[in-house]
Amino acid sequence: MKKFLVICLAFLISACATSQVNEEINESKDGKYLYEMGISYLNSGNNAMAITYFQEAIKKYNKPEVYNALALSYQLAGEIQKAENTFKEGLNKYPDYPELLTNYGILLATQNKYNDAIFYLEKAANHPSYTKKEIAYYNLGLIYLVQNKEELFLSNMEKALMLNSNYINPYISLGDYFFEKYKSSKNKEFLKRSRFYLSKAINLQSNDPVLYFKIGQVYNELNEKDLALFYLDKALKLSTDNNLLKEEIKKYILEIIEKPKTEDNKNINLRDNNKTSKSEDVKEILKEISE
């Protein structure tokens, strides 16, 4: 009986909250306020509430940013057809609005409509007053990589970085790209380039365990075991909220520690700036893995 009462109470509270929201939306004549409320819900991950506010805002505040936000909310909620229709409606009224062009291009790319996506992204990138052109160039680069047009991938990534050297996504994509090039060719020059771009990414976002895991793998392939373990240990410590990633990192560390020496790794450079034994560091990492 208690469980039933709790469920009913939760339902009644929820229903009351919904009623208050609907009343606020219906009574508000300020479309900009409704739009801003929608943005706050969108940023918090409540896509359903964001859609509710944007749908009403668009009736009273007919601006391109409202179409853009509503379409993105539909997309994030998995309502792809509604997202596409809203992008089209917005672009019919505001054909040169760069955010609509960019985000519609991205949506098309997720549907493998690459030629259409390129059209909209290039139009956004060529917009004279667009302040986020790096996003358009970055997504163009990703499309060209999928199409195996590697030179166009590289040139668009470089354009994105030239426009905004603090934009992290191209650094990560380039780091991944050169690591994959190394794996297929075993050319260590690609590893060095991967290390360069991943290091740049870590400088911009120093709390991402995935980045530390990636660069740890690069250093391991470079036969710099001490640095590999250093970055992998950082990755392990930062991955406490991601059990799948944590287990993957643990497995990779154990493979390094337990790997028997071969001709390729006999001369691994074990740096020791403090002139202390690295064995203690390995023991500490093993302790963390066992916890």
Q: Is the pLDDT of residue 4 over 50?
A: no
Q: Which pLDDT does position 263 carry in this prediction?
A: 43
Which residue has better confidence, 91 or 281? 91
Hunting for tokens 């794996």 — which residue is that?
183
Query: Residue 111 class from Cβ within 10 Å (0-12 exposed, 13-18 middle, 19+ buried)?
Result: exposed
pTM: 0.83
Cα-based distances in Å from 276 to 93, 127, 271, 273: 68, 57, 10, 8
Residue of 41, 241, 123 whose CA lies nearest to 54? 41
Tens digits of per-residue pLDDT, 247-262?
999 999 999 988 765 4
CA–CA distance from 40 to each of 15, 36, 49, 167 (Å)? 21, 6, 10, 24
What per-residue confidence (pLDDT) applies to 98? Answer: 97
Residue 274 confidence class, pLDDT cut points 50, 70, 90: very low
Q: Residue 30 above 80 pLDDT?
A: yes
CB neighbours of 165 closer than 8 A, spacing ≥ 6? none
- Amino acid letter, residue 22: N
Q: How many angstroms separate the CA atoms of 238 and 280, rounded? A: 21
* For residue 265, pLDDT beyond 90: no
Number of H helices, E strands in the chain: 15, 0
Tokens of 7: 């469920």
Give yes or no for a contact between 167 and 161, defined as CB atoms under 8 angstroms apart: yes
* Residue 27 pLDDT class (50, 70, 90 cuts): low
pLDDT at residue 13, rounded to an integer: 33
For 36-67, b/e burial (b = at least 16 CB within 10 A) is ebbbebbeeeebebbbbbbbbbbeebebbbbb
What confidence category does residue 205 fall into, taking pLDDT thresholds of 50, 70 and 90? very high
**pLDDT band at residue 283 using 50, 70 and 90 as cut-offs:** low
Q: What is the mean pLDDT of residues 17-31?
A: 58
Distance CA 52, CA 41 (A): 10
Q: What is the CA radius of gyration of the chain?
A: 25
14-18, 88-92, 263-267 — most confident range: 88-92
**What's the rounded Cα separation, in Å, for the pair 132 and 121?**
12
Rounded-to-integer distance, Cα 222 and Cα 206, Å: 22
Distance CA 45, CA 43 (A): 5
- Rounded Cα–Cα distance for residues 211 and 77 (Å): 28
| 193 or 271: which leads in pLDDT | 193
Burial of 239 (0-12, 13-18, 19+ CB in 10 A): buried
Q: How far apart are CA 123 and CA 178, in angstroms?
A: 29
